[in-house]
Amino acid sequence: MSIRAVPDRVHVRAPGKINVFLQVGAAGEDGYHDVATAYQAVSAVEDVWASPADGFTIAVSGTVEVSQVPCDDRNLAIRAARLLAQEIGWRGGVHLDVRKGVPVAGGMGGGSADAAAALVACDALWGAGLGSHDLLELGARLGADVPFALMGGTAIGTGRGDVLSPALARGRFDWVIVTREDGLSTPEVYRALDAHRGRHAVDIAPPPRRPEVATDVLHALRAGDAAMLADSAHNDLQVAALALRPELAEVLDAGERAGALVGLVSGSGPTLAFLAGDAESAIELQVLLSAAGHHALHVHGPLPGARIID
Ligand code: ATP
């Protein structure tokens, strides 16, 4: 019989994401949409510390505004810990300390990163030893973006975004993200997209039956070519996010005028992601956008998925 050494505190870091490409299919009967997306994990990260406790508790702090984050069973990290406990028959609890660096409700998957980090941290804290396959399966039950926060890097997601295959990506991509204080609800953005498509049914192409990531995106990632990626980056949800927040269009223009290769709404927004040619241009862009009064952050990708930090 072997006795596994169990640590008394585990620190896990998980990345936020940018959707470099996002195509959305028609709504299914259950209201959900199939998507095809290219995710990149970026250096806006969530840190989670898990320590033993009798119940399930959480404390949330961060470098971003965290007042909207629930500190009870609605929190995705707590739901992740409870799901794992149930799955392995763990009778105790856990206390999670979360330090958020990913803007809340910004379309960058911060809550999903917390859930991924909680799964990895509790797995180690409780000595469960689940493999990545099982963790990915549990993650998919918690939310469509959780598997990618576990996997990290650059990946293609289909289905609801949770059926993943790694994408080859060379080098590093530099992004400037512009965050907003007022978040957007993901379901609301999808509803706005359906309404837009309904209104413009005669002028625009119908939603794809089987969404696909454009091959130019895959080429650009494989080549590590930011300019080529800028030409092929696209987000179907952008039109909906802009309909709900028209002022975002001006910020997109401002970023592109300030030297971004391209600007796009990240996921369901309202965070905007600007791709820069290299790290130096990203710093210049960040300075210009900050001087114009925006909250701009320079990040880079790809970053690894949720992992234990010594
Ligand atoms: P998604 O695109 O997956 O909906 P997002 O990246 O736009 O997410 P999140 O920051 O993950 O946004 O949070 C969306 C909402 O989920 C928040 O407004 C908050 O009420 C709730 N929430 C639950 N758990 C968390 C968490 N750990 N961190 C942040 N928000 C959380």
Q: Which atom of ligand 1 is nearest to the CA of 109?
A: 6
Which among 114, 145, 174, 236 is annotated as catalytic?
A: 145
E strand or H helix at 118: helix 110-125
Alpha-carbon distance 278 to 141, whole Å?
Answer: 37
Query: What are the structural domain ranges in the chain?
Result: 10-167, 173-301
* Structure confidence at residue 207 (pLDDT): 83
The residue whose C-alpha atom lies closest to atom 29 belonging to ligand 1 is 111
Rounded CA Rg of the chain: 19
* Structure confidence at residue 128 (pLDDT): 96
Among 40-44, 89-93, 198-202, 270-274, the least confident range:
198-202
Res 308 pLDDT > 70: yes
The pocket around ligand 1, CB under 6 angstroms, is made up of 68-70, 74-77, 104-112, 114, 143, 145, 183, 186, 267-268
Mean pLDDT of 188-207: 86
> For the structural domain made of 173-301, what CATH number should be given?
3.30.70.890
List the one residue out of 219, 242, 16 whose CA is nearest residue 116: 16
**Ligand 1 centroid, distance to 110 Cα (angstroms):** 6
State the amino acid at position 85 in one-letter form: A
Instruction: Report DSSP state, residue 172.
Output: -
| Of residues 4 and 175, more confidently modeled | 175
Res 200 pLDDT > 90: no
| Residue position matching structure tokens 């320079």 | 298
Position 1 confidence tier, pLDDT thresholds 50, 70, 90? very low
Q: Does domain 10-167 have CATH number 3.40.630.30?
A: no
The predicted-structure confidence for 23-65, as pLDDT tens digits, reads as follows: 999 888 888 899 999 999 999 999 999 999 999 999 999 999 9
In sequence order, what are the residues at sequence separation of 6 or more whose Cβ sits closer than 8 angstroms to the Cβ of residue 190?
24, 27, 33, 237, 240, 268
**310 catalytic per annotation:** no
Average pLDDT, whole number, for the chain? Answer: 94
pTM for the structure as a whole: 0.93
